[in-house]
């Protein structure tokens, strides 16, 4: 049983939940503090729990659907041929059952939060599932992936308040470009395979050197957007310190990856981006705590 659970967690890359979840929790903190909802201006433990459940369930469903949709490519690509569905360690039937259970849990979480969250739940899933098909027809699938994760702060704001502040769209855009940028980096290792089977990507279309430049521009946009968000909410100094930390880590991430040397790509993708999301939550959570609103 333990081995099967590990296989399922590997299939959905459960550890990657750390990428978007801190940004969603930041959205929840900002929502409660800015609107003084719930009383005392902090999300309740119940809201935090159901937001986390919704995030993990939605992401688990999306990753499972992605693995089902891309099964043919996973079997052929040397980088992915050891994945659970590709090797037969898990069956496609099991994957569908797991996805349906995750979807049901997501709807349950949305229902527990508020009516608007439940009403928008099908749209959120449609966005998440649509990403799985984008690499078949556009070079900018990375941005679609970013948007799929980028809606999480707005979803968390809705979960806390039952409405949406337009300023949260700035954080959504920042997450979109952050994820899109590091997915462009990650896609550099699949250029040869994408060319062989006819899939689309920024590195395939523009070359690795230009793809790295495009990723840098996207990450510069992240810093600019976060600065605009902090200014629009008049957030205190910890938020600005957090932006400096994010900018520094993004610069370090790009220093690890060069056109002729992708050997440190895994370190740039997994470790650095995990630190970025967690430290962002830490600094912006501190900003929310001292914020006079």
Q: Does the structure show a pLDDT above 70 at 16?
A: no
Q: How many structural domains are present in the chain?
A: 1
What pLDDT digit, counting tens, does each position of 98-122 carry? 999 999 999 999 999 999 999 999 9
Buried b (16+ CB within 10 A) or exposed e, 133-161: ebbeeebbbbbbbbbbbbbbbbbbbbbbb
Once rounded to an integer, what is the mean pLDDT over residues 37-51?
87
Is 5 inside any structural domain?
no
Partners of 258 in the beta sheet?
261
Host domain of residue 105: 10-290
What pLDDT digit, counting tens, does each position of 241-261 carry? 999 999 999 999 998 888 887
Is 156 inside any structural domain?
yes
Is 116 inside any structural domain?
yes
CATH number, domain containing residue 35? 1.10.357.140
Is 82 inside any structural domain?
yes
Is 2 inside any structural domain?
no
What pLDDT digit, counting tens, does each position of 132-175 carry? 999 999 999 999 999 999 999 999 999 999 999 999 999 999 99
* Residues 95/67, Cβ–Cβ less than 8 Å: yes
Is 226 inside any structural domain?
yes
This prediction has a pTM of 0.93
Q: Does the structure show a pLDDT above 80 at 130?
A: yes
Is 1 inside any structural domain?
no
DSSP label at residue 162: S
């Amino acid at each position: 049983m333990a081995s099967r659970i590990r296989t399922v967690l590997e299939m959905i890359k459960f550890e990657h939940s750390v990428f978007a979840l801190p940004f969603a929790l930041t959205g929840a903190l900002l929502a409660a503090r800015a609107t003084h909802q719930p009383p005392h201006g902090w999300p309740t433990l119940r809201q935090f729990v159901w937001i986390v459940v919704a995030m993990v369930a939605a992401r688990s469903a999306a990753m499972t659907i992605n693995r089902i949709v891309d099964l043919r490519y996973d079997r052929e690509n040397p980088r992915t041929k050891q994945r659970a569905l590709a090797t037969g360690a898990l069956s496609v039937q099991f994957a569908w059952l797991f996805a349906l259970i995750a979807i049901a849990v997501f709807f349950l979480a949305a229902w527990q939060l508020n009516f608007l969250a439940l009403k928008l739940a099908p749209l959120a899933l449609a966005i998440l599932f649509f990403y799985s098909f984008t690499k078949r027809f556009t070079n900018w699938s990375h941005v679609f992936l970013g948007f799929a994760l980028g809606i999480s702060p707005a979803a968390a704001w809705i979960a806390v308040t039952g409405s949406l502040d337009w300023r949260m769209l700035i954080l959504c855009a920042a997450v979109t470009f952050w994820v899109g940028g590091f997915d462009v980096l990650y896609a550099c290792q699949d250029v040869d395979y994408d060319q062989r089977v006819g899939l689309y990507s920024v590195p395939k279309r523009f070359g690795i050197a230009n793809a790295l430049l495009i990723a840098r521009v996207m990450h510069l946009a992240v810093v600019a957007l976060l600065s605009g968000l902090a200014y629009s909410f008049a957030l205190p100094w910890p938020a600005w310190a957090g932006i400096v930390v994010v900018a520094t880590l993004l610069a370090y991430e790009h220093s690890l990856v060069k056109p002729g040397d992708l050997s440190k790509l895994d370190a740039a993708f997994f470790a650095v981006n995990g630190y970025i999301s967690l430290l962002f939550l830490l600094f912006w959570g501190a900003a929310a705590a001292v914020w006079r609103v």
